[in-house]
Amino acid sequence: MLRVHFTAQDLARTRVADGADPLWETVLSLHSLRENRTDPALAAWRQHAVRHGTEPLRTLFALVPPYGYFPDFLTPSASQYGVESGLEAVMSTPRQRLRTELTRLSGHRALPGWARGIGEGEPAALRQLARSLRTYHHLAVAPAWPRIARRVGADRELRKHAQGQSGVEAMLRTFGAPMRWRPPVLEVDYPVERELRLQGRGLVLVPSYFCCDHPLALVDEALPPVLVYAARETEGAHAEGPRLRDFGGEALRDVPGRDPGRRQALGRLPYGGAPYARLR
């Protein structure tokens, strides 16, 4: 369980994001792409994504495992202003932070040799990473953006209405089972025990189309606090796509980086850092 500790100042600074975040949706869609679930609303999207977005997947799958930790620098706060703003922030990530986060990732899985260039902040390596994110977003995620924006927008209006009518605490009570408001703590279903103290910074709640299983928080608590959660599905959403059973799993059989095992809902775990030499 994740326990988010609020003060009165935190409540005053807590808000719902203005809309879907392009890089959060891009990164989280990489999880959905490798799932075997038969959700009909995702089936047509998987078909399109596998057909058109495979070129950058080798790079992205190496940095975003099907479960567990992935680097915080892939989802910068600047992404709220658009894909290009987010990519500029990715490429401007301080070298020490790149190194630290890739070391943490290497403690969970072996990384390919080219990842060292990202960890060292090499401009060419960062440009290649940004190019992969941009290409995958435009080919695989952007075509689904109207559907993403509709669901996220509807969820946001629900939360904003509650906040406008009765305040932030009323809004925090609208989430139901995944997040329970027990003043002054928000208890969040989470795969590990963790305490997050906002310390007057407030919290940005980010509704997401591709988030599933449980909400997600950044691992680095020095970063502005965000909590990404699954946007509530609107009525009739299952009519948005044809029923293509098991399409995702079959279509991705030969895509580099696919984990053939059952996806485990472990979330962004703060795995211990291994020596940087394990990047290879």
Which residue would you say has higher pLDDT here, 134 or 256?
134
- pLDDT for 21 equals 98
Amino acid at 211: C
The Cα–Cα gap between 230 and 228 comes to: 7
The percent of residues above 90 in pLDDT, for the chain, comes to 65
Average pLDDT over residues 136-158: 93
pTM for the whole structure: 0.82
The Cα–Cα gap between 118 and 102 comes to: 8
Task: Describe the strand order of the beta sheet including 179-182 as a list of residue ranges.
Answer: 179-182, 185-188, 2-5, 194-197
Backbone angles phi, psi at 167, to 5 degrees: 100, 175
Average pLDDT over residues 123-143: 94
Strand partners of residue 197 = 5
- pLDDT for 259 equals 40
Does the structure show a pLDDT above 70 at 193?
yes
Instruction: Give the confidence band of 274 by pLDDT, cuts at 50, 70, 90.
Output: very low
Instruction: Give the confidence band of 234 by pLDDT, cuts at 50, 70, 90.
Output: low
- pLDDT for 33 equals 84
Average pLDDT over residues 247-251: 33
Least confident of 29-33, 118-122, 227-231, 263-267: 263-267
Distances (CA, A) of 204 to 14, 75, 172: 6, 14, 12
Beta-strand relationship, 179-182 and 226-230: unpaired
Average pLDDT over residues 182-192: 95
Which residue would you say has higher pLDDT here, 119 or 144?
119
Q: Which of 53, 1, 6 is nearest to 30 (CA)?
A: 53
For residue 114, give the DSSP letter.
T
- pLDDT for 280 equals 29
